[in-house]
Structure 1
């Protein structure tokens, strides 16, 4: 079992990365979790339908209750938060209890927010079950929910006691959902480490076949890159913005598609647009753009998308958390591995970048 020590100004916790779930009880003991206290496990319908028996197995020695919430981005809202609060209150959850987020990024964000706010803060454990939550949302401390059709606009920063990652969970993940998560791995390669892109390219067949050694490598490498960034700027004041690469455009695509385009696929499209913006503003090399375009195609990402409702798309972008004083700011890339935050982009340039990247076949 691999361990990553995650620490910053006022927090420290461990991320465990393992081939199976057999060491989960050891993780509990290593973190002084009192197993005689109550555990409240929050998962969604899709995950619960697959892992109900696994939950029973992992928590057989403790006093626990399970709440199953609706699946999907449309349910990442305050109604779901409120239902979790009610569940906790009805079952006498108190500050000695432990919450458990068992699922993908949506479950993790919601449970983290509840843990941060219920009784002004309580313990929680994160058990991510998708590649996107393993390599990205399970660490970093961002928790929250969507409001008024804007993604993650309500939230705070709050960290778990520990994160337990088992690549066993990826065995039941549909191929489309697995590829969805690889978008974040590509992002880390673009913003921080070109070698990670080469690793994906040269080990693609093994990774898509869920080779355990290759999976362990890309998960650990991604988490170490994210930790390196977050430890410098936990509250996302400046440098951490580089992790937003591809997300401003990506979130707009999620909104206009009514979440029909999954997060990773939307971010992949967003990265292509934002690389084109990087060409305009920071002289990002065309050959590097073409390489990343080729890599995304090889993995199975869509590289074309037509925005039908530009007003709604721009509304989402203008309400992105990086927008300040009505200026739309992006984190862009000077070259692979070197990023720049706070680049002001005009609306007309966004439309041009989209026309010359993901909308090319519609011209």
Structure 2
């Protein structure tokens, strides 16, 4: 649901404790809150170092749990070092080669004009500017330094939606799944729409769940249309994110899609036609009639027709009236013919 909210205040400080005199590298910046895709500036600092011939920073090493917090855009030497070193930028890596061996004490080497771009693909509440640092010392040895960096609060410009698909035919009474289902063979479809936005999210379904990330910001509700054989199609409208001072912000949200079982012929009403379809497919693996998807059409499937008999799909307009008698057959007569 879209809400008007106040952004949290950020006053955190992080402390890294090392033995006095330990060679370290760290990033400095004053960013407290950023949005996904923002361009940020920082400085890279070397401390307690001498006899340094070369230093390499790698932003690709700063990711954790698969999150690339930032991507390097550009880098330039500080004014004090412009005539004392050369700089080379390759992808997410910066290499500075010094004209002569250098001594550093809290020296800002690169003014990140190292500009970095905040990642804009994965929903994550924080970000870091914290590249790894490796030096070549006076003996030509490569040494990896201890490194640290400041984090910032990240407000994504998109939503993340985690969904749970709950077909009644696959559940037991407590709402949990009744055994394993191969969702690649279920025959489910999922479409998400909002105005001109349309996403076929079927391929995102796995084990009865789906994850949509990024989902664009919008003041309007998204429509989730879910279809599974033997069930009513479900249409659910949901708003995501929040608004603060006229600005939209993303959130991580959860949605549950519940589907009513018993609509074998997919006409948005559960009636004698569905009972006939099950009778005709009795003891086969007919997918449409196998409501609980256990590879056999039997009493477990027709019980859902009994339970939800004469229901109409409230998510669809102009549903037909339920039919109770067809060609002389009723639900009771069908159950009797099946020996139930």
Under a length normalisation based on structure 1, what TM-score does the superposition of the two structures give? Answer: 0.21
Q: Is the radius of gyration larger for structure 1 or structure 2?
A: 2
More strand, by proportion: 2
